[in-house]
Structure 1
Amino acid sequence: MVTSSPSPGTGPADIEIRGAREHNLQDVNLTLPRNALIVMTGVSGSGKSSLAFDTLYAEGQRRYVESLSTYARQFLGQMPKPDVDTITGLAPSISIQQKVTSRNPRSTVGTITEIYDYLRVLFARVGQGHCSRCGEQITAQSTDQIVDSISTLPDGTRFQLLAPLIQQQKGEFRDLFADLLKRGYVRARVDGEIVNLGDDLGLKKHFKHTIEVVIDRLVAGKGGRTRLAEA
């Protein structure tokens, strides 16, 4: 366990622990920054659990319960006050027990605590997406905005409009190619190469593939705006 002496001038941005003696802690004085990821590590018996769970978590939970009404307190178990002189800058705390609560190996902290769905909605609604290649911010665009952007290409520039279908998935995708042919599509880009859907593509079943269907092939210039918008 690493300890530190009180530093002068520390403000409310820090959690100040003075005289922690819970279990095997021996008058530990410690300053922890708030809003930061902190790892407490050490050999067995060094006091990391006594500090994290039995001192910080216990005191934060105890203060939170004390702030509730008498009626609400009767439904919550109140933890005993830890053996510590003072703790300042401490907010209500949450503790995740050190045990396996699910046999599913794909479980995460988000799924176990049931906040994953809320975080997913939060990131989708509030988060700002950026392109992983160029770093530009991704924004929703109307059909007219997309057409206006493509119309800035020099006259005579040949280009293709593609729609992503498969992203790095294993399989032969014979049914997908047959369905695209029935719907009137004749070309696709498979793993970066333009192919004819009528050919026997023979994709390797156990390799990952990326497939994009070619919606239309166009030439930049006047007169093609309606066709571009339809595509």
Structure 2
Amino acid sequence: MHNLKDIDVSIPKKKLTVITGLSGSGKSSLAFDTLYAEGQRRYVESLSSYARQFLGRLDKPDVDSIHGLSPAIAIEQRSSSGGPRSTVGTRTEIHDYLRMMYARIGKTFSPISGEIVKCDRTSDVVSSIIDKDDALRFMIVAPISEKEGLSREKHLELLRQQGFSRILLDNDSFCN
């Protein structure tokens, strides 16, 4: 831990924290030898004396103080026999949990507007359209795939028969 002298760090709780830096800058010393070691030591201390007898004694890291340390997990870098598509997530079997976490609590932002993308119910979309100015004209479009074995003309005719009043094809609008 020779590269960790006279430092003071504050790591936010309930956040995914990544420690980066140049080779030899003390990343591993901070992550494994200090934070993870102290987290493990405190965890073992919280166990009953019966449970502690089966675990080895863990030394306290050489630090002045660590406050509010949350439970920690550490993933050490080592050579593995994983395949070329293996990741930290798949090797540690946390990939599915991370995917669920990001899907449930993550926020998607539009790369164009920068606003949060939200899922609208059909009724919300209908209400938004109804609230628009009556003079405003617009088209609702949706992709369709061509029927196999039908020419483009026959497919357009079939869509007209199904009640479609306008069809947008290759940026050209066809009306009934």
**Which residue of the partner structure matches residue 41 of structure 1?**
22
**Which residue of the partner structure matches residue 159 of structure 1?**
139
Is 1:159–1:217's contact at 8 Å kept on the other side of the alignment? no
Closer, same or farther: CA 142–91 of 1 in aligned 2, 3 Å: closer
Pairwise CA distance, 1:85: 5.2
Q: How does 1:13-28 map to 2 (within 5 A)?
A: 25=2, 28=5
Q: RCO (CA 8 Å, sep 6+): is it higher in 1 or 2?
A: 1
Q: How does 1:134-213 map to 2 (within 5 A)?
A: 134-151=113-130, 152=132, 154-155=134-135, 157-163=137-143, 177-178=146-147, 193-194=170-171
Q: Which one of 71, 87, 92 corresponds to residue 65 of structure 2?
A: 87
What TM-score, normalized by structure 1, do the two folds share? 0.50
Is 1:62–1:80's contact at 8 Å kept on the other side of the alignment? yes
Determine if the alignment matches structure 1 residue 118 to structure 2 residue 118: no
Q: Percent identity?
A: 38
Closer, same or farther: CA 63–30 of 1 in aligned 2, 3 Å: same
More helix, by proportion: 2
Pairwise CA distance, 1:148: 2.5
**Which residue of the partner structure matches residue 163 of structure 2?**
none
Closer, same or farther: CA 194–61 of 1 in aligned 2, 3 Å: same
**Unaligned stretches of 5+ in structure 1?**
1-21, 166-175, 197-215, 219-231
Pairwise CA distance, 1:98: 1.0
Q: How does 1:53-68 map to 2 (within 5 A)?
A: 53-68=32-47
Is 1:188–1:195's contact at 8 Å kept on the other side of the alignment? yes
Closer, same or farther: CA 84–126 of 1 in aligned 2, 3 Å: closer
Letter in 2 for 1:162: A
**Which residue of the partner structure matches residue 207 of structure 1?**
none
Is 1:57–1:94's contact at 8 Å kept on the other side of the alignment? yes
Whole-angstrom distance in 2 between the partners of 1:134 and 1:102: 44
Letter in 2 for 1:53: F
CA displacement 1:39-89 (0-9 Å, x = unmatched) = 35344xx765444423332222112111122344456x4463156253322
Whole-angstrom distance in 2 between the partners of 1:66 and 1:60: 10
Whole-angstrom distance in 2 between the partners of 1:79 and 1:126: 38
Q: CA RMSD in A?
A: 4.0
Is 2:37–2:60's contact at 8 Å kept on the other side of the alignment? yes
**Which residue of the partner structure matches residue 70 of structure 1?**
49
More strand, by proportion: 1
What TM-score, normalized by structure 2, do the two folds share? 0.62
**Which residue of the partner structure matches residue 88 of structure 2?**
109
